[in-house]
Structure 1
Amino acid sequence: MERSNKNIKVAVIGAGALGLVTLKNFLEEGFDATGFERKSYVGGLWKYTLDETTSVLPSTIANISKQRGCYTDFPFPDDTPSLCASSYVDDYLQSYTDHFQLHPRIRLNTAIRSIKRDDENNKWLIAVAPAGSPDDTPTETLIFDKLVMATGTNDKPSMPKIDGLDTFTGRVLHSQAFKRPEDFTGKSVLVVGIGSTAGDTAVALVGHARKIYMAHRSGAYILPRLHNGRSIDHGLTYNRMTIQKLLQRVAPNMAVNMFSTFAKKIQDAAFPAIVQHPEWRLWPAPSLRQTFPTVTDELVPALESGDIVSVPGLRRVVGPSSVELDPTIVGDKAASTSSPTTLDDIDVIIFCTGYVNDLGMSLLEPRIHPARNTNPEWLALPGSRGKPLARLYRNIFSLDYPDSLAFMGAAAFPTPAFQLYDIASMAVAQIWGTELHNTSTLPSVAEMNKHVDAQHAWILEYARAGPVYPQLTRQFEWLSWADEAAGTNVESNLGWGLQGWKFYLGNRRLYKLLTAGVYSPHLYRIFDSDKRKKWPGAREAIERMNQQLEEELKGKSKQT
């Protein structure tokens, strides 16, 4: 079939994990797509670097297994460990770039100076210059029909406002700048936060820092990487997802309670010390409706040994090396009357407080940025933590220019990011396409605004209860929309309709593997549809993955 997308020029800003898959999916649909990256390499934060940019540490272990953390049509190599070090993920992204021949379509070492909209000609004007060049360096202006912002979700650090911080004489940094644990040898370090990054940072300091304090205002679900001898995410199947989807629709509170009970069961089995040591303040934890678990195997043993000391949240700095801690636990009014305590020997404060997902705000004209009119009610809630709340349809499409401006990184729910943004960019490429086949479409602007209003009302309720990610969206509603828009044909073939029954009756063994086996990203490339062709290797990859995992489990059971 003749493709007409070749006349549509698309700019993809960023060549990290989100940008690479977006570029690949647009090229796959025949668009004239170009990627832009200010660094000298692709892969974003997955390449360890001492530069002042966000990157993994050499000791970082992926929280998602390779079986579930890959792209939809490119599995990790067989010899990659299931739960691998960050260097394996970096190698994987380099291989992905090579395999799909993306390098010729990516401009590395290229800084985006500004992005403007030419409304008269319906074009995007992108001013670029060599990365690291002086501000007065002449820029080159490039013209594109479509624009996808894929700058990543971990670019601009979020730093809390702490009274008295200017009086602290020690070193203050965000986790983005934490690169070498050995630089803190002999120091007394206060790590602020309780998420996975805080856990990794505190654990990395063990054996180097003289003292390690971990300050946090709330508890957290602490989950191991392995459960019953296998990666914790291997227990998720399409059937279980379907049950969760049904419960979320008819009994949302029950769905959350079941998920929380399951997570608590795993936590208690792996780390009974959490209940035995209430002074750690790790329990109770905020609802999993609005937060993600902290995945770490090393944190609890380090707390037990005393290598890391759990302390209340940081309230303020009261001296050159002294901090005051707040005993109040988020959501626990009974603790609010406790007296604050102080630590008097702090040399370093490391804020593991996340990032402001600004979607490239500094690059776009303010008049077109989707968070320019952030809901004042949202900003007034402590749960917003001052982060912008963008008005985006399906947490992707600009409401001002839905036919030419999209964002990767503004949607989040408990699923691997590589899979999520593979499907998201597949959907955008279908919607923006002008092929002769059955492309997807967007609703009217009025309908999209109505949907965003409902999304914001939903997330405001979460922000009233406690901290919440502004990009959080309703998982199963989003997946159903993306399945249709991207043309993956998953829900129709594995659902309970006529097509689902036909597939079941004609392919019972495969149906069982797809629905009861590990929930593989390749599922989204196994079916043909009127919008896209399947990946021929999808079935083989799914069968091989499940067979390998079954053999591994049998081998482990024999050893025990």
Structure 2
Amino acid sequence: MAKKVVVIGAGVSGLISLKCCVDEGLEPTCFERTEDIGGLWRFKENVEDGRASIYKSVITNTSKEMSCFSDFPMPEDFPNFLHNSKLLEYFRIFAKKFDLLKYIQFQTTVLTVKKHPDFPSSGQWEVVTQSNGKEQSAVFDAVMVCSGHHIQPHIPLKSFPGIERFKGQYFHSRQYKHPIGFEGKRILVIGIGNSASDIASELSKNAAQVFISTRNGSWVMSRISEDGYPWDMVFHTRFKSMLRNILPRMILKWMMEQQINHWFNHENYGLEPKNKYLMKEPILNDDLPSRLLYGAIKVKSRVTELTETSAIFEDGTVEEDIDVIVFATGYTFSFPFLEEPLVKVEHNMVSLYKYMFPPHLEKSTLACMGLIQPLGSIFPTVELQARWATRVFKGLCSLPSEKAMMKDIIKRSEKRTDLFGESLSQILQTNYVDYLDELALEIGAKPDFIALLLKDPKLAIKLYFGPCNSYQYRLVGPGQWEGARSAILTQKQRILKPLKTRSVKPSSNLPTSFLLKILGLLVVFMAFFSQLH
């Protein structure tokens, strides 16, 4: 059984991995190359090699109730979507509450992680680190890789003929920090992800003109959904997840298209995806449509050529006097400390069992945490990954054979391609609720809805029709938390608390959402009893 565990990185994945190790009675040591916790979410004015980088204005795309750790709700007065500094504050509170800092060795870089000579029998790893110019070596029973995948920028310059002639400034979005210095400029942003739309929207407030160049377009969603609630608390319910799984694909995609276009018609704004029937991750941006409406941003097709001062696009149009090009073109995976390519990307597929375990190891004592892109919050996802990984290390959970794992990896990749497409940006994409349930099932923490319906119908209805957040996975099984039921039933007051800063007389109208839940419950009952007969 593994006892000593090395955790590489003290970002979100590293912090929750530490807690899960402690919860399981393991002895963790975390190596963090910088001087503080927070990883990606700790803003710094300067870009540092080997460290994730964000711009100063970054706000979370997932709400606080859907992003908090399962036994540690965020404070009531925290806003529903958090500025990066506020999220970092939550991580500091979390680390202090569970006394995690004592396990972290700061300003310590992991140089190599390689198998111990007797790895086939022991499963141990030799880890070489460097701190203050001195190298040290230690042996660990297990490894949790928590260094993230937003470090190595992907800039496909070969795809932009003429870039060497361009006289203006160009850089990857990783370098962007704030709009100061870009006033009055004509700026071209290449890409259509969350960073691209955030940066374009922010720059457009003071730039002369901003252009967004996109190959395929994208759906755009607001953080605000039905009745003003956060989008993910409406979208990610077990009931809606069930519908998405059983409805014919064409009907489902038609319904989603109608829903997304209800905010604004994407075709009219030049944003409609080229293959709109792929369920690619939408952009979360509340400003972009307005900025397009103002004319401050213009959507352009793919860049085919650059000259000294202009950009030529696929449709033959030309934009002159471009001052700045921002490449919001994503990241590549990089784990330079691993001795051999344990994390392989071949045939547009990541060879990790359930996005975590290399299948070919004689002993399953290494896990990659957070190397995934769920259609939802990464934080509860990583937490369930860490809960499972630590139990695998202890021998309480076992993995199938290498052959079975490879079969699962291939099948999962085929399903992902069918749902999300073959783009490299979608290589880590997965369905949110399905994946959470899959991990919870491995550790025995998935709630039994039917049993709960008989025992605690009020809670069961909340579980099925309400937001599928992390508290649900603390109701049963190992790591059960006595506050889970209360957290589920009181989440609405934590959503409304930061909003209700002015007293308003409550309305007496019965909400439509309540009537829909009753109707949905009847459908579930009918489906359940029809299966019995």
CA contact (8 A) 1:192 1:198 kept: yes
Match of 1:390 among 327, 339, 350: 350
Alpha-carbon deviation of 1:59?
2.1
| Identical columns (%) | 26
Alpha-carbon deviation of 1:54?
3.1
CA contact (8 A) 2:210 2:298 kept: yes
Secondary structure of 2:65's partner?
coil
Residues 1:142 and 1:286: Cα distance change in structure 2 (over 3 Å): farther
Alpha-carbon deviation of 1:242?
5.0
Q: Indicate whether 1:128 and 2:105 are aligned.
A: no
CA contact (8 A) 2:150 2:332 kept: yes
**Structure with the greater relative contact order (CA < 8 A, sep ≥ 6): 1 or 2?**
2
Residues 1:297 and 1:263: Cα distance change in structure 2 (over 3 Å): farther
CA distance in 2, matches of 1:283, 1:454: 29
1:119-518 matches, within 5 Å, as: 119-121=117-119, 122-130=123-131, 137-160=133-156, 161=158, 162-227=160-225, 228-236=227-235, 238-244=237-243, 246-247=245-246, 253-254=249-250, 257-258=251-252, 260-272=253-265, 274-275=266-267, 277=268, 280-284=269-273, 286-287=275-276, 289-317=278-306, 319-327=307-315, 340-358=316-334, 360=335, 362-366=336-340, 368-371=341-344, 374-375=345-346, 378=347, 384=348, 389-401=349-361, 403-434=364-395, 439-459=396-416, 468-473=425-430, 478-490=435-447, 493-494=448-449, 500-501=450-451, 503-518=452-467
Aligned match of 1:48: 43
CA distance in 2, matches of 1:542, 1:197: 32
CA distance in 2, matches of 1:203, 1:246: 35
Alpha-carbon deviation of 1:433?
1.2
CA contact (8 A) 1:124 1:143 kept: yes
Tell me which amino acid in the other structure corresponds to 2:303: L
Aligned match of 2:519: none
CA contact (8 A) 1:427 1:487 kept: no
Secondary structure of 1:34's partner?
strand
Tell me which amino acid in the other structure corresponds to 1:523: Q
Secondary structure of 1:148's partner?
strand
CA distance in 2, matches of 1:300, 1:271: 8
- Give CA deviations for 1:376-402 in whole Å, capped at 9, x if unaligned: xx2xxxxx5xxxx33111111011325
Tell me which amino acid in the other structure corresponds to 1:38: R
CA distance in 2, matches of 1:235, 1:478: 18
Residues 1:512 and 1:201: Cα distance change in structure 2 (over 3 Å): same
CA contact (8 A) 2:65 2:495 kept: no
CA contact (8 A) 1:38 1:112 kept: yes
CA distance in 1, matches of 2:386, 2:248: 28
CA contact (8 A) 1:517 1:546 kept: no
Aligned match of 1:35: 30
CA contact (8 A) 1:237 1:516 kept: no
Alpha-carbon deviation of 1:181?
0.9
Aligned match of 2:480: 534
CA distance in 2, matches of 1:431, 1:349: 46
CA contact (8 A) 1:170 1:348 kept: yes
Secondary structure of 2:126's partner?
strand
Residues 1:415 and 1:464: Cα distance change in structure 2 (over 3 Å): closer
Q: Which consecutive residues of structure 2, in runs of 5 or more, have no partner in the other structure?
A: 510-533
TM-score by length of 2: 0.86
- Give CA deviations for 1:473-511 in whole Å, capped at 9, x if unaligned: 465654443122122132xx21xxxxx33x322211222
Residues 1:62 and 1:266: Cα distance change in structure 2 (over 3 Å): farther
CA contact (8 A) 2:34 2:106 kept: yes
- Aligned pair count reads 496
CA contact (8 A) 1:237 1:518 kept: yes
CA contact (8 A) 2:375 2:430 kept: no
Secondary structure of 1:394's partner?
coil
Alpha-carbon deviation of 1:293?
0.5
Q: Which consecutive residues of structure 1, in runs of 5 or more, have no partner in the other structure?
A: 328-339, 379-383, 495-499
CA contact (8 A) 2:62 2:376 kept: no
CA contact (8 A) 2:18 2:28 kept: yes
CA distance in 1, matches of 2:79, 2:277: 28
TM-score by length of 1: 0.82
Match of 2:3 among 5, 8, 11: 8
- Give CA deviations for 1:189-213 in whole Å, capped at 9, x if unaligned: 1111111111100111123322211
CA distance in 2, matches of 1:393, 1:409: 13
Cα RMSD, aligned residues only: 2.6
CA distance in 2, matches of 1:89, 1:555: 29
Match of 1:107 among 105, 108, 132: 105
CA distance in 2, matches of 1:288, 1:152: 30
Secondary structure of 2:180's partner?
helix
CA contact (8 A) 1:518 1:546 kept: no
Residues 1:504 and 1:356: Cα distance change in structure 2 (over 3 Å): same
- Give CA deviations for 1:266-316 in whole Å, capped at 9, x if unaligned: 4333235x44x3xx4212454464520111111111111111121122222
Residues 1:541 and 1:479: Cα distance change in structure 2 (over 3 Å): closer
